[in-house]
């Protein structure tokens, strides 16, 4: 990965994160994405100058914590059949995928 000041993200980085994200990008797409993502990352890097020493991050804003419920099965009336109807490939009430091994 690059440490250059002028470019935040390289084409190699784009391919790497596309791989992590399971998106098959072509070389042509990667080149376009590199320029776009670099501009966006360049913009958000204005936070670099903000002094955040000693400040804790905020991940959620509802003020709620540890929302739990009784450990019981609740029937929301959604059938297996209805759920499987959207699956691209099924067999014997199961979702089918290409051979893995």
* Residues making contact with other proteins (CB under 8 A): 1, 9, 13-14, 17-18, 20-25, 33, 36-37, 39-41, 43-48, 50, 52, 55-64, 67, 69, 74, 76-79, 82-83, 85-89, 95, 97-98, 100
d(Cα 32, Cα 18) in Å, to the nearest integer? Answer: 13
Task: Tell me whether residue 6 or residue 78 sits nearer to other proteins (CB atom).
Answer: 78
Shortest separation between residue 97's beta carbon and other proteins, angstroms = 6
Task: Give least dist CB 92 to other proteins, A.
Answer: 16
List, as one string, the DSSP characters of the chain. ----SS-SS-HHHHHHHHHHTT----HHHHHHHHHHHHHHHHHHGGGGGS--TT-------S--------S-----S--HHHHHTT-SSEETTEE------
> Smallest gap, in angstroms, from Cβ of residue 15 to other proteins?
10
Q: How far is the CB of 62 from other proteins (least distance, A)?
A: 4
């Amino acid at each position: 990965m690059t440490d250059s000041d002028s470019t935040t993200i390289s084409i190699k980085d784009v391919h790497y994160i596309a791989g992590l994200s399971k998106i098959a990008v072509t070389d042509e797409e990667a080149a376009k994405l590199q320029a776009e993502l670099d501009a966006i990352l360049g913009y958000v890097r204005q936070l670099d100058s903000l002094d955040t020493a000693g400040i804790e991050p905020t991940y959620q804003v509802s003020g709620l914590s540890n929302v739990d419920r009784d450990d019981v099965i609740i029937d929301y009336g959604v059938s297996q059949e209805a759920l499987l109807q959207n699956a691209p490939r099924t067999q014997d009430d199961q979702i089918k995928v290409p051979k893995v091994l």
